[in-house]
Structure 1
């Protein structure tokens, strides 16, 4: 195999593929990046057996300045290969595989020779049936990921909760995540091909996979999703992103979301975020990371105290507060994560009781889909 390529372009492709490569894998060949070349272009592949990424670099795209002189393939040690490519000085880079799987990397006057692995030793990626393709709007799907992954669990004791539960049926995509202390739900309308309208898909995708996916797909208008028994493939332009699916039954989250509230508070999300952030300065210093919200007839107050440090109280400027008086305590970090997903818009916070979960939703929800965007947080018992 031998090819030359524009080095800055190659670095970008290499960086994206490396998102799937882990140095901690127990399979030595998976610490490498697989490169294959043919007359149409290069295919770069990386995998840690949970996530696999393939990127095709076409000869036809002139910005790549790609010329393939000899077809073939090789697996190169990803970390050191990436360092070498980054530290070369010239715009052009030449890679040539010699005898005994030794790879020559040259740019300007610098030349490296590194030991490589036979490409035949690299595991094959799963075959995915491309007859069932669901097309998603990229920017909206990335937003869905950002709004829901915050509530995935980081505890491996319940692996199913480390994923986002995605259901596609009746022309909507519903994404739900919960770590049993909080819940995020986002529902968006999607266009489903006529031959798949009777179908429904339920998949649980690891939160880590979705985070990496949202980083790698940038300016494409749409992304294609294909599902098999234990894998999902997302395809965007020349990027193929595979992720394993989590096996098991996701809890029924519909019953967790309250349908009514006895107290409601409407205020700007960014202002409530800043006030919660200030209150958490002291709550983080104490043994119990708790902030208290008090809603009375004509006042809304956020407070926190740390016996070791002191107390903080702040009267909030709100748009509207209605219903029964309320005192409720909660983990401020959960509320801050939830509020960040709303940006600068006003939110409506609905409470049903001091010990029942409360919801945060957009104040101006003009979508036709019920419960299209909800953040739910379980309060903390302080007695």
Structure 2
């Protein structure tokens, strides 16, 4: 194996596949990155057995020669050392050559490194996924869907299925739900060319967070293919595989109230800033609790009280308050996460009473719903 490649393109490809490599991998070869080169270009693969990322650097792109291949072949190189070496090479021309089976020489300018590689035949094969469960979403929309839901997954392994986001394709619509049993985020998206069959999978929250770092903020389509144990995202030259979580995701639809007693319309950014200030004095107290009170007029009172530190009270103007007076307490962190997901638009908060879950929605857009369980303080 022997080829030359532009260093900047190699760094871009490495930065993607490194997101799948774990230094704590139980299988030794997974601490490495697999390189395969042929006349078409260079393939790089990284995996931690939960996530596998494969990216491709074409030999030629837009008339520019990116890779010159003298001999095709494959090798696995230690990810940590290889990526650091490439980043610190002195010129943009890099030559990589494998001789005597596993001896790998990396040359650039007057620098030359020698790494001992591993046999690429020992590296796990890519997961096999049939293409029958396939649809596509614009990349910027997929990033938005992930941002609006993934923060609400559980961090506790006591119920592993809740550490993922439930994706369900049904009636031409993708419904994504995350919950940690104290709050819930749900996003609905109409699909063009949706599969006819119904599909239901649970994608680990950590996988979606890593995918989000790779996706470009553009409208280019991202292909999504589901199987029983894996999901594959195709974005440009990058393939992103993730294992799925096993187990039945709970039916969350019954958590969402069907009747409401109090509706409050308010600017999301104004409310977020007010709760952020109130939480300054609540951080040491039980789960950062903030009180919320609506008693006539067009303002709500946000307050928190810490016996050792002090208290804060603030009035927030609303667009409208309809229904019964209300006193309720909730986690400031959960409320702020939900408000950030809705991104500063005018929102409506719908309450069913002081000890019932309440929901937040954008006034203009019904596709995103956030639900929070209150905390008993009153």
Normalising TM by the smaller chain, what interval? Answer: over 0.9
Q: Secondary structure at the match of 2:234?
A: strand
Map 1:41-60 to 2 at 5 A.
41-60=41-60
Name the counterpart of 2:166.
165
Q: 1:288, 1:116 → 2: CA distance?
A: 50
Number of matched residues? 375
Q: 2:266, 2:238 → 1: CA distance?
A: 41
Are 1:254 and 2:253 matched, yes or no?
yes
Name the counterpart of 1:86.
87
Q: 1:16, 1:288 → 2: CA distance?
A: 36
Q: 1:123, 1:288 → 2: CA distance?
A: 44
1:63 deviates by 5.2
Name the counterpart of 2:355.
355
Are 1:291 and 2:290 matched, yes or no?
yes
1:125 deviates by 1.2
1:100 deviates by 4.1
Name the counterpart of 2:371.
376
Q: 2:293, 2:236 → 1: CA distance?
A: 51
Name the counterpart of 1:216.
214
Name the counterpart of 1:368.
none
Contact 2:281 2:309 in 1 (8 A): yes
Q: Deviations over 1:127-184 (max 9, x none)?
A: 1112332112221121111100011011111100000000011111000000000000
Identify if the C-alpha distance between structure 1 residues 57 and 343 changes in structure 2 by more than 3 Å, giving closer, same or farther: same
1:192 deviates by 2.4
Q: 1:70, 1:131 → 2: CA distance?
A: 36
Q: 1:30, 1:288 → 2: CA distance?
A: 39
1:229 deviates by 1.5
Name the counterpart of 2:187.
186
Q: 1:43, 1:288 → 2: CA distance?
A: 47
Q: Secondary structure at the match of 2:60?
A: coil
Q: Deviations over 1:106-141 (max 9, x none)?
A: 110000001111111101111111233211222112
Name the counterpart of 1:243.
242
Identify if the C-alpha distance between structure 1 residues 220 and 23 changes in structure 2 by more than 3 Å, giving closer, same or farther: farther
Contact 2:268 2:344 in 1 (8 A): yes
Are 1:36 and 2:43 matched, yes or no?
no
Q: 2:2, 2:175 → 1: CA distance?
A: 46
Identify if the C-alpha distance between structure 1 residues 308 and 54 changes in structure 2 by more than 3 Å, giving closer, same or farther: same
Contact 1:291 1:329 in 2 (8 A): yes
Identify if the C-alpha distance between structure 1 residues 322 and 220 changes in structure 2 by more than 3 Å, giving closer, same or farther: closer
Name the counterpart of 2:26.
26
Gaps of 5+ in 2: none
Contact 1:10 1:64 in 2 (8 A): no
1:288 deviates by 4.6
Name the counterpart of 1:101.
102
Segment of structure 1 superposing worse, 63-72 or 266-275: 63-72
Map 1:192-341 to 2 at 5 A.
192=193, 196-197=195-196, 199-218=197-216, 219=218, 221-298=220-297, 299-341=299-341
CA RMSD of aligned residues (A): 1.3
Q: Deviations over 1:227-286 (max 9, x none)?
A: 112011111221111000001100000000112211111111111110010011111033
Q: 1:357, 1:64 → 2: CA distance?
A: 59
Q: 2:18, 2:85 → 1: CA distance?
A: 14
